[in-house]
Chain A
């Protein structure tokens, strides 16, 4: 047996033994203003009350990379490629330092935005989907992806009701429009179009985010109960094996 085969056997053992609760990954996706953060908080509280050990990870929140990206965003200094590559680096660092360690320990990880956010936004910025998808390899597939679907109008109305969307959020780097609100409306249409395609390709579970908040939450509970028995995806083996092989990873 090669060392790779031994690692693979360990990974399968860890994630498929019926007697222990395996790590489970749930991703919340959707455009800004779709209400997914509110739903994520309600969902987490409910899961904890049900006895799950829950860990949350947010988009662009790596302790290593977020402080490097932030001033460049403020200075409007990133091209679409740089923006894409740095967010992929942030994601990779969180996969290695937060998401996989928690999954390995049998925790339930809720990702407030996952790699699909990178795909939707970067492709909306004009980058090639295939190139962007490869940045995120080896791919780690969530067990469930909840996609919070709203119209561009709803997204725009909710976001602009309380604040002005920032430079990159409104896509001003690619629309070249001065008015952030006008730019946001144009950019979010592209983002939602990409999300809708991704939802089909990657089999997201679509939640109608135009519905009342409580209705969405109870629907999430039902969907989670239906999906939590799903078997572990063998597609994730490569990502876990690579993580186990990282230097200094004594597991």
Chain B
């Protein structure tokens, strides 16, 4: 490949509260990326860690927000190693949906310190561009399988309880503030 032919890879992060809306936004971005075959989507839970967590026996106890965030970070590390970095090295554009901002907003909304969350993700490649999806889910549904819904189920047990409303509202505020920055 000549220098002229070599393309620069890039990472676009798509973050938001509603997992389904984030997924749809990532899909909608694909046609806008020039040159077919250049774009890849890296999704939450690609490592299989969360799938294993979902089937864990109840007696093992629910993970706390901190434990969930450590898991999310491990999942991001996996995605960076197997999906994001290799694709960028090949000159591809990777859409990470969701990426780090969703997790940080979830952690902030659950009451975790901002400094801890920022430090946790220092290993993550900074995105060249971030898109925030503003849609706010009214209720959790079986169709939604994003990190936020999963996290709320772990923390509260009731996917549509008061905690959900409060946490989602706070998350949205954090994401809005991140978008302004």
Contacts and interface: CB of A to CB of B under 8 A. Distances in A.
If over half of B's interface residues share one DSSP class (helix, strand or loop), that class is named, otherwise mixed; here it is helix
Given A68-B49, A82-B77, A85-B77, A131 B119 contact: yes
Interface residues of B, number: 31
Interface stretch (B68-76, B91-99, B132-140): B68-76
Interface stretch (B9-17, B58-66, B141-149): B58-66
B61 A67 contact: no
A102 B64 CA distance: 18
B37 interface: no
Contacts of A86: 49, 70-71, 74
A137 interface: yes
B35 to A, nearest CB: 31
Nearest to A88: B70
A55 interface: no
A196 B116 CA distance: 27
A93 interface: yes
B155 interface: yes
Interface residues of A, number: 25
Contact of B74 (A63, A85, A96, A246): A85
Given A92-B66, A96-B67, A67 B52 contact: yes
Interface of A: 62-65, 67-68, 79, 81-82, 85-86, 88-89, 92-93, 96-97, 131, 134-135, 137, 245-248
Interface of B: 47, 49, 52-53, 56-57, 59-64, 66-67, 70-71, 73-74, 77-78, 81, 111, 116, 119-120, 122-123, 155-157, 163
